[in-house]
Structure 1
Amino acid sequence: MIQWIQQLFSPTKIEDPTDSMKKYLIVGLGNIGVEYVNTRHNIGFKALDFFARKESLSFETVKLGALAEYKFKGRTFLLLKPNTYMNLSGKAVKYWLDKENIPLENLFVITDDLNLSFGTVRIKPKGSDGGHNGLKNINLVLNTNQYARFRFGISDQFKKGQQVDYVLGEWDEEETSKLPERLELAAEVIKSFGTAGLENTMNAFNGK
């Protein structure tokens, strides 16, 4: 009885509706497995791995992926590497958006892009999947393409009929030497998205 009375009159924590607006889901697309680690298609994973090392973060195996948390300037960044394989990425994205009550405008998806020269950054507020299976599944599961994406150029230096081999192939020697500088830029893009906003991030980094 006493315990019930204490519960009745004890102050309850009121959730601040702005808390969810300060939380961001940063999704790096890729395929799990050691055979995919250094492939062009896994640039989303590589960008988040670089960011995590830079900020001394650790990924934890969670439902539908690996997750690391980064706090910066009052914001919380959840870095997600889905373990569903590329073609089912949407399942992990939706689960973590819902679980963490993160609004769609705070979702940022990092993906490779054949239509951009190597290392080129293009941030967009929405768009079609452009033939990318990861984006295609996210669009399908979320039933929208109205979310921000960070396209990282991998160029299209392959012969006709060899697209799959190229995308799933490993970076060449020249690309490998230039990747650290481009991944450093990618880390800046991620921070900017959460602190400066999408529009300012696009203006500051697109085409770099």
Structure 2
Amino acid sequence: MIKLIAGLGNPGEKYRGTRHNIGFDVIDELAHRLQSPLTTAKHKGIYTIVRSGGHQLLLLKPLTYMNLSGESIAEVMRYYKIDIENLLVVYDDLDLPPGKIRLRQKGSAGGHNGIKSVIQHTGTEQFKRIRIGIGRPDGNNTVIDYVLGKFDKEQRLIMNEAVKKSADACLEWLEKPFPEVMNQFNS
């Protein structure tokens, strides 16, 4: 049985370090910790498969751009016969304060186009998520400019901690039922 952790973001140097790419940052953190770089480029994404804690784990960064993320995730799930209960999606959330993480078992897209795409291509809202707060733009910024903008130095420190905490939660999910992981990290 393979578990799939997909981090949402946009490919390319231009988007590295932006608020919208925090899901990619978590996948990079996991790949680093598990010493398994993402080297396989197939199914509209880049990924690695690693053994951890007696489980096979597939770490995926869809390369379709955020709004089409579901295409890559659904292709990987079909190819590797991954059940929806073994999918965990990590992404940015405007409605949480910067650095706050929130784990959920299911839910609507809440206006997030990447999640809309995942729901559309998997045909369900019944998948696990880790939402990482990026806060909302002030009056000077549009949402698009804000999510595609980079964190300032102070915010980056807060977000680095959120990335580590999110990676911790991902690894806990390999060992424990998701409701237990939620109780541990949603406090």
TM range (shorter): over 0.9
**Per-residue CA shift, 1:53-79, capped at 9, x if unaligned?**
222211113211110222112111100
Q: 2:41 aligns with which of 35, 56, 62?
A: 62
Runs of 4+ displaced beyond 6 Å: none
**What's the counterpart of residue 14 of structure 1?**
none
**Per-residue CA shift, 1:73-127, capped at 9, x if unaligned?**
2111100000111111111111111111111001000010000011111111111
Q: CA deviation at 1:160?
A: 6.4
Q: 2:85 aligns with which of 78, 92, 105?
A: 105
**What's the counterpart of residue 30 of structure 1?**
9
| Distance in structure 2 (CA, Å) of the matches to 1:117 and 1:68 | 31
Residues 1:43 and 2:43 are matched in the alignment: no
| Distance in structure 2 (CA, Å) of the matches to 1:189 and 1:70 | 17
Q: What SS class does the counterpart of residue 102 from structure 1 fall into? A: coil
Aligned pairs, how many? 186
Residues 1:139 and 2:133 are matched in the alignment: no
Counterpart residue identity of residue 164, structure 1: I
Scaled by the length of structure 1, the TM-score of the pair is 0.85
**What's the counterpart of residue 31 of structure 2?**
52
Q: 1:119 aligns with which of 99, 110, 125?
A: 99
| Distance in structure 2 (CA, Å) of the matches to 1:70 and 1:153 | 28
| Distance in structure 2 (CA, Å) of the matches to 1:113 and 1:190 | 17
**Per-residue CA shift, 1:146-178, capped at 9, x if unaligned?**
111110010114226611111110011111123
Which has more radius of gyration? 1
| Distance in structure 1 (CA, Å) of the matches to 2:140 and 2:151 | 19
Counterpart residue identity of residue 124, structure 1: R
Q: CA deviation at 1:29?
A: 0.2
Q: What SS class does the counterpart of residue 77 from structure 2 fall into? A: helix
